[in-house]
Structures are given as structure tokens and as C-alpha cells.
């Protein structure tokens, strides 16, 4: 079953706990709070490299930061989002599409 990513994102932002933005998401990773990182396709490489070093599950959603912001119901761009608590959303099922850093 394929999940509706936009619906899941809105649910996790509304009902769960997230860190929005690359710097906030990286702080959550450093504090070992992040369960999953969601990346926009145009997320800067320096932030991707930090996630790679920390070996946190990450998913490239294949949408740009403007679209990711819109999907989250926010009026601004979002290049990275850390899921701390998924709440009642099914967003954690995206882990199946995790970025394979070893394939580079």
C-alpha cells in the first residue's frame, strides 16, 4: 500500500513532533531525538553530509523545498524535516525508501 506523503506530512506536523528546517533538524539529530529525516531534493549537500555521518534514517522525498513546505502546510520553504514523534501518522513507513549512503 502506497501512502499519501502530503497527507502523512500534514498529520505528523499537526499531531506529532517535528523539527523544521535544516539547522533545527540537525540539532535534533545531534541530540539523538530524530527517528527519521525527510529531505527536499534541493537540500544542500553540507546538510546531507552531516546526516550521512550520523547514520540517521533519511528519505529524499523527490520534491523541492517549496513543495515540501507546501505539503507540510507551511508558507515557507523547508529543505529538511526531522520526525521526532510521528504521532498517529504513518510517516515512519517511508523508512522503506531510506537513502542508501553506501551506494555512492
Per-residue pLDDT in tens (0 to 9) along the chain, 104 residues = 467 889 999 999 999 999 999 999 999 999 999 999 999 999 999 999 989 888 889 999 999 999 999 999 999 999 999 999 998 889 998 877 665 554 44
Q: Which of 33, 31, 39 is nearest to 9 (CA)?
A: 39
**H/E stretch holding 17:** strand 17-20
* pLDDT for the residue 74: 93
Largest Cα span, the chain: 35
CATH superfamily of 5-99: Ribosomal protein L30/S12 (3.30.1330.30)
Instruction: Say how far residue 20 (Cα) sits from the centre of its chain.
Output: 8
**pLDDT given at position 70:** 94
Side by side, the strands of the sheet bearing 58-60 are: 17-20, 80-85, 36-39, 58-60
Q: Which three cell numbers stand for residue 103?
A: 551506494
Q: What stretch of H or E contains 38?
A: strand 36-39
Q: What pLDDT score was predicted for residue 54?
A: 87
Q: Whole-prediction pTM value?
A: 0.87
Give the start-to-end residue ranges of the domains of the chain. Answer: 5-99
pLDDT above 70 covers what percent of the chain? Answer: 90
**Res 28: pLDDT:** 96
Amino acid at each position: 500500500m502506497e501512502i499519501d506523503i502530503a497527507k502523512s506530512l500534514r498529520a505528523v506536523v499537526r499531531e506529532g513532533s517535528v523539527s523544521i528546517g535544516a539547522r533545527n533538524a540537525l540539532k535534533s539529530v545531534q541530540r539523538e531525538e530524530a527517528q527519521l529525516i525527510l529531505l527536499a531534493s534541493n537540500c544542500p549537500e553540507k546538510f546531507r553530509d552531516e546526516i550521512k555521518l550520523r547514520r540517521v534514517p533519511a528519505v529524499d522525498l523527490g520534491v523541492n523545498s517549496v513543495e515540501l513546505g507546501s505539503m507540510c502546510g507551511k508558507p515557507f520553504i523547508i529543505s529538511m524535516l526531522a520526525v521526532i514523534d510521528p504521532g498517529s501518522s504513518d510517516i515512519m513507513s517511508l523508512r522503506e525508501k531510506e537513502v542508501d549512503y553506501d551506494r555512492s
